[in-house]
Amino acid sequence: MNDDHDRGHDPRLERIRAWLSQARFFAEEVYSSRYRGAIARARRDEDDLFMLLVFSEMMGVPNPAAYYTLELQPLLLERFHDWHRRMGMERSPLDHFKCC
């Protein structure tokens, strides 16, 4: 309501707020910076498995949910190039699905 109005009038409150948000930022940085890499890698591994599920039909692995995963393919297209490179395939493994 008149939140902005109050803030403008009480510099002390504003200073405390700024200080608190600064403290929060520092705490979060300290908490996350050390393991950011490890967590991102673990997450990527999970995503890679998902990629395999979505593109499995194209590589000859039958997938009962192919009808549904087909819909996801355009969404994952951007990540496809990085994925096949990471999986040790220089070029796209799919004939009709070129990206490089």
Partner 1 sequence: MSAIVILVLGLAAMAAGYFLYSKFIAEKIYRLDPDFKTPAHEYEDGVDFVPTNRFVLWGHHFTSVAGAAPIVGPAIAVIWGWVPAFLWVVFGTIFFAGVHDFGAIWASVRNKAKSVGALTGDVVGKRARSIFMIVIFLVLLMVNAVFAVVIAGLMMNFSSAVVPVWGAILVALVIGQMIYRRKMSLPMVSIVGVVALYALIGIGPSVPLQMPAEVAGVSGNAIWILLLFGYAAIASLLPVWVLLQPRDYINGLQLFVGLIILYGAIVLMNPTMVAPAFNDNVPAGTPSLLPLLFVTIACGAISGFHGLVSSGTTSKQLNRETDARFVGYFGAVGEGMLALAAILAATAGFATLADWEAMYTAFGQGGVNAFVEGGAFIIHNGLGLPEATAATLLTVMAALFAGTTMDTGLRLQRYIFQEWGEIYNQAWMKKPAVATLLAVGSCLLLAFGAGGADGSGGLIIWPLFGTTNQLLAGLTLLVITVMLVRLRRPMWYTLVPLVFLLVMTIAALLIQLRTFFEQSNYFLLVLDIVVLIAAIMVAMECASALKRSRAEMAAEQ
Q: Among residues 87, 46, 53, which one has the least CA distance to residue 72?
A: 53
Q: Which is nearer to partner 1, 13 or 42 (CB)?
A: 42
Cα–Cα distance list, 29 to 32, 33, 42, 82, 100 (Å): 5, 6, 19, 28, 37
Q: How far is the CB of 38 from partner 1 (least distance, A)?
A: 5
Looking at the Cβ atoms of 64 and 88, the one nearer to partner 1 is: 88
Instruction: By CB under 8 A, name the binding residues for partner 1.
Output: 20, 23-24, 26-42
Nearer to partner 1, 1 or 49 (CB): 49
